Structure 1
Amino acid sequence: MHDRVWGGREKVIPARGCLPTPHCVTRLSGVPLYAAYGSNMDPGQMMQRAPHSPMAGTGWLVGWRLTFGGEDLGWEGALATIVEDQDSQVFVVLYDVTDDERNLDRWEGSELGLHSKIRLRVQTLEGSVLSWLYVLDAYEGGLPSARYLGVVADAAEAAGAPADYVEDLRTRPCSGIGPAAAS
């Protein structure tokens, strides 16, 4: 269902006659696209973190599930990550990250060993495209803070995720005080 590429490069062919819209994936370089599933789904946040990395579209990681982990790492709660799950899919926003990759690595804590990069295929309306993304180097489990979960839900909404996907994020169990907090 999905195709992992753990090394090497694969050329992604751009869609012909395609305008850069959230539903149309374009390639601005030969480097695979970055797939964001957490707070980086927000195009405004990505503009601050990676100003030379335009949004290239949206899609789904089929056979993967959004979850949270690393609650014990000292943050205010668990952080977003993904795990394989045949019956699930995760909404992602694709960015053409070129010159900004090192800056984004620092933002994501890659130098601290918080995340690893993997390559996966994203299903878009234009077909399957190769992407890279960060996954948390920690055990699955724990609750995100209400604040963080709200940031992720707002990011998904800003990127044009389906309303039911955003609602699912807003109603997930979480810790802390706030509108998304668990009862």
Structure 2
Amino acid sequence: MNAKESYNLQGKERMRFMERKCEIYAAYGSNMNLRQMALRCPSAEVLGIGVLENYKLTFRGKRRGVANIEKCEGATVPVVLWNITRKCEKALDYFESFPKLYVKKQIKVKINTRIVEAMVYVMPDEYQNYPAKPGPYYLEMIEQGYTDHGIISSGLLDAVQNVQREVVMSKLIKEEL
């Protein structure tokens, strides 16, 4: 059914059609995990694996660290691309604490030689000043997502090592002040 045909739908039929409208969502954290997404968004479908170019994976937060992406020339972050409905997006908004912790952004994702636009959740820039270690369970959820899709986890391990260094440096700087 195309947009012109949907215009002629009435009431509940139109709502059902509008609900099926989909968007591409790029997950780089725990929403890469198949089991978690099956619980949060049962109608979401995996489209494939992509790469965010010139971004790095980080962990930020005021208490516990959660995944984020930040611009970084030359770096890359693997993502799982999902086809999500509006209902899925509303569920993700809840789980991602949108708009308090994360905001939405359209971003270009490379899939082999193609580029597609996808929606991602990212933290506002102010969180770049809050490096925080992720909890073990949260980290396991992300690692399982990498495993689910056959993604090598070296970038994830690098991000964990980087945030550990950032946290130590942040404490040292605070002690000097």
Q: TM-score, normalised by structure 2?
A: 0.71
Q: Residue 114 of structure 2 aligns with which residue? A: 127
* Pairwise CA RMSD: 2.4
Displacement, 1:154? Answer: 2.0
Structure 1 residue 159, shift from structure 2 partner: 2.0
Which of the numbers 158, 174, 179 marks the counterpart of 2:148? 158
* Cα gap change, 1:163 to 1:79, in 2 (>3 Å): closer
Q: Is the Cα–Cα contact under 8 Å of residues 58 and 163 in structure 2 kept in the other structure?
A: no
**Distance in 2, Cα, partners of 1:107 & 1:163:** 24
1:34–1:131 contact (8 Å) kept in structure 2: yes
Residues in 2 aligned to 1:41 and 1:130: alpha-carbon distance in whole angstroms: 18
- Equivalent residue letter for 1:37: Y
Q: Could you tell me which amino acid in structure 1 is paired with residue 25 of structure 2?
A: Y
CA deviations over 1:58-103 (Å, ceiling 9, x no partner): 1100010000111x2x4xx211100000110000000001131111
In structure 2, runs of 5+ residues without a counterpart are 1-19, 165-177
Counterpart-to-counterpart distance in 1, 2:113 and 2:22: 18
The CA deviation string for residues 12-47 of structure 1, in whole angstroms up to 9 with x for no partner, is: xxxxxxxxxxxxxxxxx7644100000000122111
Does 2:44 align with 1:53?
A: yes
- The residue aligned with 1:105 is 93
Letter in 2 for 1:108: E
Letter in 2 for 1:151: M
Asked if 1:34 corresponds to 2:21, the answer is: no
Q: Which consecutive unaligned segments of at least 5 residues does structure 1 have?
A: 1-28, 175-183
For 2:104 and 2:117, the matched residues in 1 are separated by 13
1:81 equivalent to 2:63? Answer: no
- % identity of equivalent residues: 30
Please, which of 79, 98, 123 is the counterpart of residue 136 of structure 1? 123
Contact 1:153–1:170 (Cα < 8 Å) also in 2: no
Deviation at 1:164, TM superposition (A): 3.6
Instruction: Report if aligned partners of 1:153, 1:169 keep a CA contact under 8 Å in 2.
Output: no
CA distance in 1, matches of 2:120, 2:146: 16
Change in Cα spacing, 1:172 to 1:152, as seen in structure 2 (3 Å) is farther
How many pairs are equivalent? 142
Which residue does 1:181 correspond to in 2? none
Cα deviation per residue 1:124-166 (whole Å; 9 max; x = unaligned)? 1251111001012352222222332232122212122125445
Rg (Cα) greater in structure = 2
Q: Is the 8 A contact 1:39 1:151 kept in 2?
A: yes
Larger relative helix fraction: 2
Check 1:169–1:91 CA distance in 2 against 1; reply closer, same or farther (3 A cut): same
Indicate which of 30, 34, 39 corresponds to 1:43: 34
What CA deviation, in whole Å up to 9, does each residue of 1:150-183 have, x standing for no partner? 3212221212212544554676665xxxxxxxxx
